[in-house]
Amino acid sequence: MSDIGGQAVIEGVMMRNKNKVATAVRLPNKKIKIKKQRLKPRSKFLKLFFIRGIINLIDMLTLGIKTLMWSADQQTGEEEKISKTEITITVILSLAFGIGLFLFLPYLFTYLLGFKELINPLLFNIIYGTIKAGMLVLYLYLISFMKDIRRVFQYHGAEHKVVFCYENKKSLTPENIKKFITAHPRCGTSFLIIVILVSVILFSFIPLIVQNIYPAINSIHWLLRRVILFACRLLLLPVVAGFSYEILKFGAKHQDNIIFRALTLPGLWVQKLTTKEPTKKQIEVATRALKSVL
């Protein structure tokens, strides 16, 4: 299995092969523009088991946002280019929106349903994870009706098809690429689903840890108690990401194993929302991006 991965951007695809990155986008004049870059090699410490998952998440978020903004710039005139201040504000608002919608609201709803985190943490987190997964699927379903998002999802499908074709050692022709499916076990969508599953287990240990460090937590004001417990979830996110990355990577390599295939299966189902069948021209863009990093 290759280490090639990528993401869909505005009217294009970004591909990464180790420290090489290439982004190909279709310009308004119908031509394809390619941006290439080399990333600094990581130290041996940052490649260690578990650590690499945390670093990879930060790396891909940073690179992904920059690439997405660059691709958006290619579709506008010079006077409409996105400034660094606008990018910073967009990132901050996006993070706040993500934390609020997919972390805070499921947490709040679970409490409102009457489940107590300190009394039965495992049941609390099973309900919390179920609500979070449901909100994620509903959100993806709703935005899939937006025309611009649908085109991004088509490029997402093109990215997966091209990578599949390359991993199966087939010639990168449109005819060969079209034969492959749009869902890939190493996709970021699958990663999100695994994150939810892993967080159910790891977050269940938070009350035990907090009660051992701070035995008086049961006697403080209920609002402060919940703020402390929710803050611990945010602090534990890098740990969740580290474990989730290793499960995703191992599971993708062992699709013949029924347990790991089952772990990646929900992510493949959700990819029915986040990937769409691409056009021949979209496949051409994804192919150019992949060839640029090989």
Which has more confidence, 18 or 203? 203
Tell whether the torsion through CA atoms of 237, 195, 148 and 177 is positive or negative: positive
- φ/ψ region of 271 (left if φ > 0, alpha if ψ in -120 to 50, else beta) reads alpha
pLDDT of residue 77: 66
Angle, alpha carbons 53-55-59 (nearest 5°):
115
Please give the radius of gyration of the chain, using alpha carbons only, rounded to the nearest integer. 21
Which has more confidence, 180 or 47? 180
Query: How many Å separate Cα 97 from the centre of its chain?
Result: 15
By mean pLDDT, which of 76-80, 137-141, 256-260, 269-273 is the weakest? 76-80
Rounded percentage of the chain residues whose pLDDT exceeds 90? 62
Give the domain ranges of the chain. 5-293
68, pLDDT greater than 80: yes
Which has more confidence, 144 or 57? 144
| 278 in Cβ contact with 158 (< 8 Å) | yes
pLDDT digits (tens, 9 = 90+) for 167-193: 999 999 999 999 999 988 888 888 888
What mean pLDDT is predicted for residues 49-63? 85
Of 250, 241, 154, 231, nearest in space to 197 by CA: 241
Tell me how far apart the alpha carbons of residues 247 and 257 are, in angstroms, rounded to a whole number: 13
Which has more confidence, 80 or 280? 280
pLDDT digits (tens, 9 = 90+) for 191-208: 888 889 999 999 999 999
| 229 in Cβ contact with 206 (< 8 Å) | yes
Using H for helix, E for strand and C for coil, what is the string for 180-218?
CCCCCCCCHHHHHHHHHHHHHHHHHHHHHHHHHHCHHHH
Tokens of 264: 């990646």
Which has more confidence, 58 or 21? 21
Tell me how far apart the alpha carbons of residues 289 and 162 are, in angstroms, rounded to a whole number: 10
| 12 in Cβ contact with 193 (< 8 Å) | no
| Residue 218 banded pLDDT, cuts 50, 70, 90 | confident
Tokens of 40: 């600094």
| Residue 80 banded pLDDT, cuts 50, 70, 90 | low
Of 69, 80, 66, nearest in space to 16 by CA: 66
Tell me how far apart the alpha carbons of residues 164 and 157 are, in angstroms, rounded to a whole number: 11
By mean pLDDT, which of 44-48, 214-218, 242-246, 255-259 is the weakest? 255-259
pLDDT digits (tens, 9 = 90+) for 100-158: 999 999 999 999 999 999 999 999 999 999 999 999 999 999 999 999 999 999 999 99
- φ/ψ region of 73 (left if φ > 0, alpha if ψ in -120 to 50, else beta) reads alpha
pLDDT of residue 163: 95
| Residue listed under structure tokens 């049941």 | 123
44-48, 70-74, 287-291: which is most confident: 287-291
Report the greatest alpha carbon distance in the chain.
67
pLDDT of residue 78: 60
Of 21, 34, 286, nearest in space to 161 by CA: 286
Phi, psi of 238 (to 5 degrees): -60, -35
Average pLDDT, the chain: 90
Tokens of 82: 């996105």
